[in-house]
Amino acid sequence: MLDIRRIRQEPDVIQRLLAKKGVEVDLGELLTMDERRRTLLGEMESLKAERNRSSEEVARRKKAGEPAEELILAMRNVGERIQRFEADVRALDLEIGNILLTIPNTPLPEVPDGKSADDNVKVRNWGTVPTFDFEPKPHWELGEALHVLDFERGRKLSGARFTVFSGRGAQLSRALINFMLDHNRRRGYVEMATPYLVNRDALVGTGQFPKFEEDVFRVVPHEYYLIPTAEVTLTNLHRDEILDDKDLPIRYTGYTASFRAEAGAAGRDTRGIIRQHQFDKVELVRFVRPDESDVALNQMVADAEDVLQQLGLPYRTVLLCGGDMGFSQAMTYDIEVWMPSYGRYVEISSCSNMGDFQARRANIRYRPEGSKKTEFVHTLNGSALAIGRTFAAILENFQQEDGSVRLPDVLQPYFDGPSVLKI
């Protein structure tokens, strides 16, 4: 959520920055309501001051034995006016708050201009894109031939975009989860295991609601929602809390299943496991002081990249342009793994600095050392990594001519059996 004071002070700057995201926002109505609210507050303060003076005068008159009935009646009228003003302010607070919830985060000034992924800026490449002396197969064909992916039974159990990981495929998926969690713990993150079901406040706090309600699965008749990412639970661990300055920065990692309706994504990546309604992911979340978030973002990107480097998977890192950024993001790097079946790089991690946008929505603050006032923390999140996409990338990049797949050496401590998947 944007700070209303910032909107009040620099509306033109905010509109210009939001235009980088391709978003046009008319702040006029919001500012009119804000001005009305401040006017009401000023009138309320004047009336309260008048009531205080009258109370003192009533006390004086009673003590002196002088009549005070007329003044008491006037005070009662003032009190009723104050109550009406308070009701009007509460209504305006609700309306202003609802509008603020729909306004995206502003990108940082250094975010490049652009309208789509075609305008993202390549930062670096790592690894060598594989070449094959044979016709490589896509991961969905390899997975079925190796009996590690079962798409038909996934459809039978649930429907389209659900997959069963079978036998050694289930083992490989679990090995990836454990490897990533251990990797993240070694890099200073505290492992957390959080629920898959959350309340509405949690999704408002991280910015999924109200903008993206259609993308989230709701559990009826209960007011629970299946999480689209562990970012929701890990960030909301500290909702409505004031953190100690000495505890910052806080770094969490966690594995969860993730659930997305993928509304509006019909026809995109329908083959294989790149775009699923249910998928596994290991997440990174950080809470930092405001002046530390730029450095923290670069560190988080390095943490996610190191997972791919240890697995030996070729990737590239890109800085997203304004038009390709999400609702809550102030700055985002995508890490894209090479997928031979696509003939291109495919997103496998997105690492973002949210600034104080989520912290304002979720009311996550800290008290700087030596200060009596609190400030909002900055939050960051990123995937390290999406399990299904990592699984698919391993099958495609490390496939052999005989249809087998060589597994990364780093997974051997987590994988029971040969280091090659064979038919």
**8 Å CB contact between 138 and 37:** no
- Name residue 109's amino acid: P
What digits encode the pLDDT tens for the residues 369-404?
989 999 999 999 999 999 999 999 999 999 999 999
Given phi > 0 = left and psi -120 to 50 = alpha, else beta, which region is 65?
left
For the chain, give the number of residues: 423
Residue 166 burial class via C-beta count within 10 angstroms: exposed 0-12, middle 13-18, buried 19 and up: middle
Q: Which residues are catalytic?
A: 260, 275, 347, 350, 389
The pLDDT assigned to 399 comes to 97
What's the rounded Cα separation, in Å, for the pair 13 and 38? 22
- 4-102: CATH class: mainly alpha
DSSP assignment string, 115-126: SSGGG-EEEEEE
Q: Is 161 annotated as a binding residue?
A: no
Q: Is 261 annotated as a binding residue?
A: yes
The pLDDT assigned to 360 comes to 97
Q: Quick check: bond before 249 cis, omega within 30?
A: yes
Q: Is 106 annotated as a binding residue?
A: no
**8 Å CB contact between 239 and 359:** no
Q: Is 90 annotated as a binding residue?
A: no
The pLDDT assigned to 258 comes to 97
**8 Å CB contact between 364 and 373:** no
Q: Is 381 annotated as a binding residue?
A: yes
The pLDDT > 70 percentage for the chain reads 98
Q: Comparing 67-76, 196-205, 278-287, 362-371, which segment has the lowest mean pLDDT?
A: 67-76
Q: Is 213 annotated as a binding residue?
A: no
What digits encode the pLDDT tens for the residues 237-265?
999 999 999 999 999 999 999 999 975 55
Q: Residue 138 has what DSSP assignment?
A: P
pTM, two decimals, is 0.91
- Asked if the domains 4-102 and 117-421 are classified in one and the same CATH topology, the answer is no
* Architecture of the CATH domain 117-421: 2-Layer Sandwich (3.30)
Across the chain, what does the average pLDDT equal? Answer: 94
Distance of CA 67 to the CA centre of its chain: 64
Q: Is 184 annotated as a binding residue?
A: no
What's the rounded Cα separation, in Å, for the pair 339 and 314? 9
Q: Is 383 annotated as a binding residue?
A: yes
Three-state SS at 155: helix
Distance of CA 292 to the CA centre of its chain: 18
**8 Å CB contact between 382 and 351:** yes
Domain boundaries, the chain: 4-102, 117-421
**211 Cβ contact list (under 8 Å, min separation 6):** 102, 327
Distance (Å) of CA 203 to CA 199, 200, 226:
7, 5, 10
b/e code 331-352 from CB counts within 10 Å (16+ = b) = bbbbbbbbbbbeeebbebbbbb
Q: Comparing 146-150, 199-203, 370-374, which segment has the lowest mean pLDDT?
A: 370-374
